[in-house]
């Protein structure tokens, strides 16, 4: 089955710096890769996702890149702000509806002002 590795487990940056979180996956059949942000006491919130027919996707300060050959994908946050502080989870799944998202273990991002 699919296995998703996520690094680093914790990341501390200064406000305004960039943050990068990396994930690798094992199943070449996986073709959907969402990223979720989870604040304390809340459910995961989708922030960006990418499908395997695309190499990069950007939404304002957030971007995701995908390297299918190497089986890894990364989240890039530019100009970080204190409100970006949260736990970030990457996930992978195949293209079948109603199937499980396989999550990485999460990265706790702390942005200090």
Compute how many residues bind another protein; rule: CB under 8 A: 25
Asked whether position 54 contacts another protein by CB under 8 A, the answer is: no
Could you tell me the smallest distance in angstroms from the CB atom of residue 14 to another protein?
24
- CA-CA distance, 5 to 64, in Å (whole number)? 16
Taking the least distance from each CB to another protein, the nearer of 24 and 93 is: 93
Q: What backbone torsions phi and psi does residue 27 show, to the nearest 5 degrees?
A: -95, 115
- CA-CA distance, 94 to 33, in Å (whole number)? 9
Instruction: Choose, by CB under 8 A, the member of 1, 42, 60, 69 that binds another protein.
Output: 42
Q: Measure Cα distances from 91 to 38, 46, 85 in Å.
A: 13, 11, 19
Contacts (CB under 8 A) with another protein, residues 90-109:
93-101, 103-106
Taking the least distance from each CB to another protein, the nearer of 3 and 18 is: 3
């Amino acid at each position: 089955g699919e296995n998703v590795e996520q690094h680093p487990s914790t990341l501390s940056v200064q406000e305004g710096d960039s943050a990068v979180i990396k994930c690798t996956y094992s199943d070449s059949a996986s073709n959907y890769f969402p990223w979720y942000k989870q604040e304390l006491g809340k459910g995961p919130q989708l922030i960006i996702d990418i499908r395997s027919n695309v190499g990069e996707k950007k939404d304002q300060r957030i971007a995701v890149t995908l390297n299918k050959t190497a089986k890894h994908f990364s989240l890039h946050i530019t100009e970080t702000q204190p409100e970006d502080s949260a736990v970030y989870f990457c996930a992978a799944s195949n293209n079948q509806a109603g199937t499980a998202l396989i999550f990485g273990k999460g990265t706790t991002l702390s942005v200090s002002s």
